[in-house]
């Protein structure tokens, strides 16, 4: 009988210790607050035990989006390549955000024309725009839809301004903030080895002053190669002149 008890106890001890080992081995993200996929790398936020305010993010609106970005200094932030390997800080650089606009599917001319239309005084008197200082009740909105003869596929536009603000803004000069700084883009090479624009180095939020870029190596010709991407076989480059030290 004692023999069976010994076997049972030994088995339970093995399970217990194995369970502990397994738990410790998989708990590599202890204190992980959030994970952000950035395309060419992954950013992970961890609680900083030396800062009292550093805590798990909750359901408050201040814990998400641009509001959460303002808290990044109270967390430990680590960067991982698309293969899951942590990127050493020596390979991290920053590109200063210009805050300007660029999209591959439209031209500068199209962008400015759209901006002019939105900036026009006529927009302020377009009945499809419902301003902050106007009645937005369900009854009022439905009545306006009927007056305009809108179909179920056509919508009213909920403006974030009052009509007075719209009119005042229409008097201001139109600022050409189309992106034309060559430092603000990722590049690839065409079949002739010429560097061509791949995408805009865009911040996640307008308030972001810098975008982190992991650099594999730089060359004497003034170009730097970005970390390889498991999801894209293309080699991506940035201009060396665009880069700022990560600690700055």
Q: Do 132 and 160 meet the contact criterion of CB atoms below 8 Å apart? A: yes
129: left (phi over 0), alpha (psi -120 to 50) or beta: beta
Distances (CA, A) of 157 to 47, 128, 130, 131, 220: 41, 6, 6, 8, 52
Residues 133 and 187 in one domain: no
The answer to whether position 19 is within a domain reads yes
Mean pLDDT computed over 223-241: 93
* Of 242, 240, 198, 196, the residue nearest 217 (C-alpha): 240
Q: How confident is the model at residue 161 (pLDDT cuts 50, 70, 90)?
A: confident
Helices (H), the chain: 2-26, 65-69, 108-119, 121-124, 138-148, 163-170
pLDDT value, residue 8: 44
Residues 117 and 155 in one domain: yes
**Residue 19 scores a pLDDT above 80:** no
Number of domains in the chain: 3
Sheet with 92-96, edge to edge strand ranges: 195-200, 185-189, 237-239, 223-226, 210-218, 92-96, 243-245
pLDDT digit string, tens, across residues 174-201: 999 999 999 999 999 999 999 999 999 9
CA 233 – CA 214 distance, rounded (Å): 16
DSSP-derived secondary structure for 132-144: TTS--SHHHHHHH
Residues 212 and 100 in one domain: yes
For residues 24 and 14, the model is more confident at 14
Domain that holds residue 19: 1-28
Residues 124 and 138 in one domain: yes
Residues 200 and 229 in one domain: yes
The answer to whether position 121 is within a domain reads yes
The answer to whether position 2 is within a domain reads yes
Structure-token pair, residue 57: 């993010």
Picking from 26-30, 101-105, 168-172, 206-210, which range would have the lowest pLDDT averaged per residue?
A: 26-30
Structure-token pair, residue 129: 């725009």
Residues 99 and 113 in one domain: no
Q: How confident is the model at residue 234 (pLDDT cuts 50, 70, 90)?
A: very high
Which residues on neighbouring strands pair with residue 245, listed in sequence order? Answer: 93
For residues 32 and 1, the model is more confident at 32
């Amino acid at each position: 009988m004692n023999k069976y008890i010994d076997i049972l106890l030994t088995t339970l001890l093995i399970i217990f210790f194995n369970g502990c080992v397994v738990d410790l081995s998989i708990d590599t993200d202890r204190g992980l607050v959030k994970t952000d996929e950035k395309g060419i790398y992954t950013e992970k936020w961890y609680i900083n035990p030396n800062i009292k305010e550093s805590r798990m993010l909750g359901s408050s609106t201040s814990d998400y989006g641009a509001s959460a970005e303002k808290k990044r200094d109270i967390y430990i932030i680590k960067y991982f390549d698309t293969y899951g390997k942590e990127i050493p800080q020596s390979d991290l650089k920053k590109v200063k955000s210009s805050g300007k606009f660029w999209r591959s599917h439209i031209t500068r001319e199209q962008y400015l024309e759209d901006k002019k239309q939105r900036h026009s005084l006529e927009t302020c008197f377009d009945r499809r725009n419902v301003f902050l200082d106007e009645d937005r009740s369900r009854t009022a909105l439905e009545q306006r839809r009927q007056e305009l003869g809108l179909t179920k596929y056509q919508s009213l536009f909920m403006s974030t301004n009052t009509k007075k603000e719209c009119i005042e803004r229409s008097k201001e000069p139109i600022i050409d903030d189309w992106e034309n700084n060559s430092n603000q883009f990722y590049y690839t090479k065409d079949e002739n080895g010429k560097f061509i624009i791949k995408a805009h180095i865009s911040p996640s939020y307008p308030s972001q002053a810098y975008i982190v870029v992991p650099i594999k190596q730089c060359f004497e010709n003034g170009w730097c190669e970005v970390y390889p991407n498991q999801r894209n076989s293309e080699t991506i480059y940035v201009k060396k002149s665009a880069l700022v030290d990560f600690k700055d």
